[in-house]
Amino acid sequence: MTPDPRVSEVIARLRARQGQGPDRVHGLALPSVFEPRSLLQAPERYGVRASYERPLERLALVAIGEARSVEVRRREGPSASRGAARRALAVRAEVDAPALRPRLLGGFRFNPSPPPAAPWEPFGAGWLLLPRVLAVAEGDARGVVVAPGVEPESLNAPLTAMLDPASAPARPAEPAGLWERLGVDAVAWCRSVAAIADEVRAGAYEKAVLATSVELEGDRLIDVGRTLARLRDGYPDCHVFTLSAGGSTFLGASPELLVRLRDGRVEALGLAGSIRRGATPEEDESLGRELLGSAKDRIEHETVVRAIRERLAGATDELRAPNVPALRRLPNIQHLATEVTGRARSGVDVLELVRRLHPTPAVCGYPQDVARRVIETHEHFDRGWYAGPVGWVDARGEGEFAVALRSAVVRGPRAWLFAGNGIMGDSDPGLELAEVQLKFRPLAEALGGRPPRPRE
């Protein structure tokens, strides 16, 4: 097939740029007809290692291949990657626009201490990678950021896909039919909720977050591209992400920002307390008022916001948070949400902020050390990167990390889904079971296009 002249022109521009500076990163602007999200229709075909999107904010970062990587060892958290991340980004860059700058994409385990167990073995304790090619859509900017040593002709296929989405492989007419291979152990879940609630009422701690997992299997390979399209369309105000390793992909659409650092401004989100959506506008409003008036949910939410403020205090100035939470409404659930903002102090980068904030009480509990021990007692699976930080960082130390919620690991025809609830003193086991099952729906439906059915 004869290459499109617009693709040939980009390749020629890159070749000319590399002739002037072969050891540099080159950020080339592309016309608006190039769409980086097209690569996510068939991420395996184009060697996509990671992606990070905020559809409503018109941001998409798609990482192809790996030029360099920063690996985190067991028992090390995000702070251990700070020095190596700076070194990996210490490259000369010639860019056509500020959006087309080098960035590292990746994430970290919820708890870096235990050895990874299924299905997390390929992912390790955490990593940040500098892509060989980073396709960028940010606002009106479109472009590719190309690492040193990349052959210009290797961009032919991804550029063609960005220009012509129809060039991606055809999908099956129907998504994979899914069934539950392993569901929630309702008896064990309710027993753990009751035990934690008893301990909270006795004053042992304020809150613990109990998570669980379900395993689904399809009648054919699960289509990651189709899943991402459904998440993007259904949850445009969420953080949609993929991270791939060893034939597995961790993906999700998280409603929770952990922290963002941009132009010195720090933003974090307290998200805790939830209730279902209503079947009618009137019922929806009534449920929202019920959530805002719930003493249990307000106490849980205030615990999260208080911890965020405490942990950011030593790294920020002008720290602010509203006294009353707002409602964050998603298609199947609504949450209490509070935005916390401030100004970063000199020398503070986004990875330092991630270290301070992770894990928040929204995904762990409070106090943190006690809540971790509670999790180890009651959870009999590996959280892996679920509820860990995922996102990106640039050479200035700015970036954005979300909490990896509403997420799943996909490998071939199989998927492992994860969800959890904050347990307080007045938590009802039956209601908590219904809530955690509700939180599985976004991914289950995106993976298979319909709720999973039990295996017969």
Sign of the torsion angle spanned by Cα atoms 205, 125, 106, 123? negative
Q: What would the DSSP string read from start to end of 279-302?
A: SSHHHHHHHHHHHHT-HHHHHHHH
What's the chain's length in residues?
Answer: 456
Amino acid at 68: R
Residue 21 pLDDT > 50:
yes
| Residue 186 CA from chain centroid, whole number | 27
Using CA atoms, how far apart are residues 432 and 256, in angstroms rounded to an integer?
Answer: 20
Query: What's the pLDDT tens digit per position in 217-260?
Result: 988 899 999 999 999 999 999 999 999 999 999 999 999 999 99
Compute the average pLDDT of residues 23-39: 96
Using CA atoms, how far apart are residues 262 and 348, in angstroms rounded to an integer?
Answer: 12
Using CA atoms, how far apart are residues 53 and 390, in angstroms rounded to an integer?
Answer: 11
- In this structure, the number of other CB atoms found within 10 A of the CB of residue 441 comes to 17
pLDDT given for residue 341 in this prediction: 98
Under the banding of pLDDT at 50, 70 and 90, the label for residue 73 is: very high
Catalytic residue among 35, 53, 207, 400: 207
Compute the average pLDDT of residues 202-210: 97
pLDDT given for residue 332 in this prediction: 87
- pTM exceeds 0.85 for this model: yes
Q: Give the rounded percent of residues in the chain with a pLDDT score beyond 70.
A: 96
- The answer to whether 171 and 218 have CB atoms below 8 angstroms apart is no
Residue 22 pLDDT > 90:
no
> Which strand (E) or helix (H) includes residue 193?
helix 186-201
Which tops the pLDDT comparison, 1 or 58?
58
Q: What is the 3-state secondary structure (H, E, C) of 370-389?
A: HHHHHHHHHCCCCCCCCCCE
Whether residue 256 lies in the annotated active site: yes
pLDDT given for residue 456 in this prediction: 47
Q: What would the DSSP string read from start to end of 134-152?
A: EEEEETTEEEEEE-TT--G
pLDDT given for residue 183 in this prediction: 87
Query: What's the pLDDT tens digit per position in 139-179?
Result: 999 999 999 999 999 999 999 999 987 776 666 666 667 88
Residue 454 pLDDT > 60:
no
Residue 254 backbone zone (phi > 0: left; psi -120 to 50: alpha; other: beta): beta
Residue 121 pLDDT > 70:
yes
What domains can be seen in the chain, in order of their start residue? Answer: 5-167 (no CATH), 178-454 (3.60.120.10)
Residue 61 pLDDT > 50:
yes
- The answer to whether 134 and 64 have CB atoms below 8 angstroms apart is yes
Residue 2 pLDDT > 90:
no
Encode burial over 208-245: b for 16+ CB neighbours within 10 A, e otherwise: bbbbbbbbbbbeeebbbbbbbbbbbebbeebbbbbbbb
Q: Which of 73-87, 104-118, 253-267, 304-318 has the lowest mean pLDDT?
A: 73-87
Catalytic residue among 53, 215, 217, 256: 256
Which residues are CB-contacts of 403 (< 8 A; sequence separation ≥ 6)?
254, 256, 257, 258, 358, 360, 362, 363, 387, 388, 389
pLDDT given for residue 219 in this prediction: 85
